[in-house]
Amino acid sequence: MGILDTFRNEFIDIIEWTDNTQDTIVWKFPRFQNEIKTGAQLTVRESQVAVFLNEGKLADVYQPGRYELSTQNMPILSTLKGWKYGFNSPFKVDIFYVNTKQFTDQKWGTKNPITLNDPRFGMIEIRAFGNFSFRVTDAGKFMKEIVGTDGQFTTEEISSQLRTLVVTKLTDAIAESKLKIEEFASNLDEFSKFGAEKLSDDFDAYGLKVTSLLVENISMPDEVKKEIFELSRLDKIDMQKLTQWKTAQGIEKAAENGGLAGAFVGVGLGGIMQGGIANSQGGGAVPPPVMQIFVAVNGAQTGPFDVPALTQMAQSGQLKGDTLVWKAGMAAWAAASTVPELAGILGAVPPPIAPPPL
């Protein structure tokens, strides 16, 4: 290298940055033992800003464009340096390029399950995951709060902190929603928008903005998912059906473990044993639910009664076609003849004996 090349490299007259990476947020222009030449050309491309630091203090911030560095377009630095009447000598300053494009597909997910108290299934643990995108909106604030003097700052260096913010805010949103466990899947878009709003202030404190937030999935335990699918097959969820379904499920599990008698003890059923335990054990089938019906006698509610009791009442004349009855699932009391479950009982009663014709 000749002596002219040595002097030529002492001064910088072209300042620019072309990013060939996908994850660099901040890049420091290399100025080791070099001074910036008066009238140097500064190029800031789209999706970039250039930040000048003088002795660690934020000076000028340049938006996209081409600049010839002089006191006229370096107002803050000129004040810091005391250049009242312009300058002609080279100067030293730290120059950082900040990438303002969107950084997309930043993954997030719950490290630990979120515990919810569902009104029907009790305490349940769920997990959630998705992705988000962000960009730098205030380069000066971002440099001051996050980057400092780091010469090359990438998304990896801040992604952990941002993921923690996302998970924390969405966990609060899920817990405050009071939705049923099966309703989360149909509200993912609402959760995404609400989560982005809740994150706005936290990201803004770093000079950042959440450009998009997606909740891809909220998962639940397999056993809860199976119960929800089973319940969806019922015509109408009421306490009687729910109890009967839980009872049958408990008996089935006990039978698989080798003993049906223990199932009745564990589930606490008495009426469902009607028909004989031996028959259930021999056939291996779950007995049908016990019919429980209330009967109006002399204007007063009596019961509930099972099939044998109702049969006896029909034979004794206490239960007739026009007798008012009610069972779980009925909106109001109705005549016994209108209840399909009583058709067989009423039909088994012989008609009154008519006198022989004269």
* Beta bridge pairs of residue 35: 11
Both 118 and 17 in a single domain?
no
State yes or no: cis peptide before 357, omega within 30 of 0. no
Both 110 and 189 in a single domain?
yes
Euclidean distance between CA atoms 50 and 97, whole angstroms:
5
**Mean pLDDT to the nearest integer, 82-103:** 86
Q: For residue 341, is it within any domain?
A: yes
Give Cβ neighbours of residue 318 (< 8 Å, ≥ 6 apart): 295, 297
Both 112 and 211 in a single domain?
yes
Q: For residue 226, is it within any domain?
A: no
Both 309 and 277 in a single domain?
no
Q: For residue 288, is it within any domain?
A: no
Out of 57-61, 120-124, 174-178, 280-284, pick the least confident.
280-284
| 169: CATH | 3.30.479.30
CB 203 within 8 A of CB 213: no
pLDDT in tens, 266-284: 444 444 444 443 444 444 5
Q: For residue 197, is it within any domain?
A: yes
Continuous H helices in the chain: 3-10, 75-81, 139-142, 156-177, 188-204, 222-232, 239-256, 261-267, 277-283, 307-316, 343-347
Whether the pLDDT of residue 75 is over 60: the answer is: yes
Answer with the one of 177, 198, 220 that is the final residue of a domain. 220
Both 88 and 132 in a single domain?
no
Both 44 and 94 in a single domain?
yes
* Integer angstrom CA distances of residue 15 from 5, 51, 149, 195, 256: 18, 12, 19, 40, 77
- The sign of the CA dihedral 190, 192, 196, 199 is positive
Q: Three-state SS for 92? A: coil
Both 114 and 213 in a single domain?
yes
Euclidean distance between CA atoms 255 and 251, whole angstroms:
6
With bands split at pLDDT 50, 70 and 90, how would you rate the model's confidence at 39?
A: confident
The two beta strands, 122-136 and 48-54, are unpaired
Return phi, psi of residue 128, to 5°.
-145, 150
Half-sphere exposure of 66 (CA within 13 A, CB side): 3
- Print the domain residue range for 93: 3-99
Both 208 and 277 in a single domain?
no
Answer with the one of 54, 69, 99 that is the final residue of a domain. 99
Given this model, what pLDDT does residue 7 score? 41
pLDDT in tens, 216-266: 888 887 877 777 777 666 545 555 666 666 667 666 666 666 554 444 444
